[in-house]
Amino acid sequence: MDTCLEETSNQHGTRGGRFVWWPVLLLLSLGLGAGVGYAEWLVGRYWAPWLLLPALTGLAGGIVWCGMVRLMPVAGRRALLWTAAVIALGATVLAPHWMAYRELQAQITPETQLIAKMTASTEEPIIPETFGEFLAWSAKRGRFIGRQKIVGVWVWASWALDAILVGVGFGLPVRDLMRKPYCRTCRTWLRPILARNLSLREAERVAARCSLPSNCFPGNLHEPLRLRVLGCRGACGGFVLQFFSVGHRRPLLEESLSSAMFAQLNDSLAAPEASDASPRRR
């Protein structure tokens, strides 16, 4: 599944750099997740459609997180990326509860606490002090889902469902990012440079210009073939050539290209007849 530019011997000293990125990524993920969860808490005061709000929050969080991660040279470091994503997700899920807890804390004065303790019956919970107590207290007090009030274990179940929906929304863009091709030298994700539909004959001509064997395409292909070239954003200046058959997400063929070979490929696309006349490489 991993598609990437091969590590080349002429590195330009940018392989992740000397700078250590993982603490930055983990800290920023924590902050970003908390920020997204805080935004959900704010929005939830005015508009809180059950199921929809957590799913949208997760999706927005995932998109913003992926945008942030793309700025760092951490492509292909799957364990680190998933750890950071889980931290961001955990912060997103907990932040609204934490904000509600802080809000309640701000309202509590020694007097209200005393009154609550004096008037508390055995069934009625007293005002919570820790975050854990607050969650248990909130569950006992209940939650409205539409006009239906739920209490106790059902509140915990609804929170778990919220968390799952945030996770699903968050996971979609993250999974997509994990599948994107990247450069192993620079640890950055590749950017699309050009995309074009070609007939099988044209595709074979382009492949020949890039020194691929003449029989690199299987025989029973549906035309047109989709040609895609991706370029590295980093210092290595490398490219990746991909061919796709119609309706397939996985490339049929994939090859690393040097900048000289990319220039040749561009020439052959710009003037197919002229390039046909020139001798084949290799």
Q: Does 236 bind Zn ion (CB under 5 A)?
A: yes
In the complex, the smallest distance separating the C-beta of residue 4 from Zn ion, rounded to whole angstroms, is 9
Which of residues 76, 234, 262, 269 is near Zn ion by CB under 5 A?
234
185 close to 11: Cβ distance less than 8 angstroms? yes
Please check whether residue 175 is in contact with residue 1, taking contact to mean a CB–CB distance below 8 angstroms: no
Residues 6+ apart with CB under 8 A from 255: 210, 212, 240, 241
Nearer to Zn ion, 169 or 234 (CB): 234
| Binding piece for Zn ion, criterion CB under 5 A, among 59-67, 85-93, 224-232, 269-277 | 224-232
> Binding of Zn ion at residue 183 (CB under 5 A)?
yes
Q: How far is CA 77 from CA 1, 69, 183, 187, in A?
A: 14, 11, 12, 8
**Quick check: 81 binds Zn ion (CB under 5 A)?**
no
- Nearest-angstrom CA–CA distance, 56 and 118: 43
Q: Which of 28, 34, 207, 232 binds Zn ion (CB under 5 A)?
A: 232
Distance CA 119, CA 111 (A): 12
Q: Does 257 bind Zn ion (CB under 5 A)?
A: no
Report how far residue 204's alpha carbon sits from residue 271's, in angstroms, rounded to the nearest whole number: 15
Three-state secondary structure call for residue 96: helix
Among 17-25, 34-42, 55-63, 179-187, the segment contacting Zn ion (CB under 5 A): 179-187
Nearer to Zn ion, 138 or 185 (CB): 185
Residue 264 interacts with Zn ion (CB under 5 A): yes or no: no
Q: Which helix (H) or strand (E) holds 259?
A: helix 259-270
Size of the site for Zn ion (CB under 5 A): 6
Stretch that binds Zn ion, among 43-51, 65-73, 153-161, 184-192 (CB under 5 A): 184-192
Distance between CA atoms of residues 64 and 78, nearest Å: 18
From 150-158, 181-189, 194-202, 266-274, span contacting Zn ion (CB under 5 A): 181-189
Give the nearest distance from C-beta 179 to Zn ion in angstroms: 18
Residue 185 within binding range of Zn ion, rule CB under 5 A: yes
Strands 225-231 and 239-244: antiparallel
How far apart are the two ends of the chain, measured CA to CA in Å? 30
Residue 231 C-beta: closest distance to Zn ion, Å? 9
Residues of the shown chain interacting with Zn ion in the complex, contacts defined by CB under 5 A: 183, 185-186, 232, 234, 236
